[in-house]
Amino acid sequence: MHHLRILAPNHVIAKFHFWYFVSQLKKMKPSGETVYYTQVLEKHPRHAQGVWGPDHAGAVTQRHQVMGTRHHAWAQSIQIMKVEETVGSKCHHLAVKQFHDWEMEFLLPLSRPTSQQKPHFPTMRPNVFFQMWSLLVIKYAQKPSTGKLKKKNYPKVQAVHVCVYRCIYINIIFTILIFLYYYLL
């Protein structure tokens, strides 16, 4: 019988990794039967393991994400030998060393107001400022006489740059101005 401690997101991937590592150690095929598998829980789950995560599984997950973003490494190709706590003096990463100051304070995020704290009616007027949108409209210089356009009879196209003032709460004005400009001019 072989016993391995494997870090995986679920039991299916853990079984796959188990047979992968066992086949590297011994000449075995994955046709054997798995007798027992369980999730290994922390003895002290609230004890901080450092910046990478509150527990071993969270630290490994964050390390996978860092390796994927910085080095484009796949999580399947990363083999973690062991997870352990280190002393601050043995730490190599500058991004982690900056958090070793014990006097550092973090601002608490503001909580969302509950429905009892919110006012029933808005106390401010609606924001109706105007924005200038620029739009590129293609206008035909001449319309084709036949229904189908042949290669020779393409109409001359003229690009017209139009600046349209649009109110944020009235979206219909924008559509009407385009319609009026394109079809009536």
pTM: 0.41
For the chain, the average pLDDT equals 68
pLDDT digits over 147-184, tens only?
554 555 444 444 444 444 444 444 555 566 565 666 65
The dihedral region occupied by 41, where left means phi > 0, alpha psi between -120 and 50, and beta the remainder, is beta
pLDDT digits over 116-143, tens only?
777 777 777 666 555 544 444 444 444 4
Q: How far apart, in Å, are the Cα atoms of 167 and each of 123, 130, 132, 133, 175? A: 21, 5, 9, 10, 12
Per the listing, tokens 């054997």 go with 32
Rounded distance between C-alpha atoms, residue 134 and residue 131, angstroms = 10
pLDDT digits over 57-80, tens only?
777 888 888 888 888 888 778 877
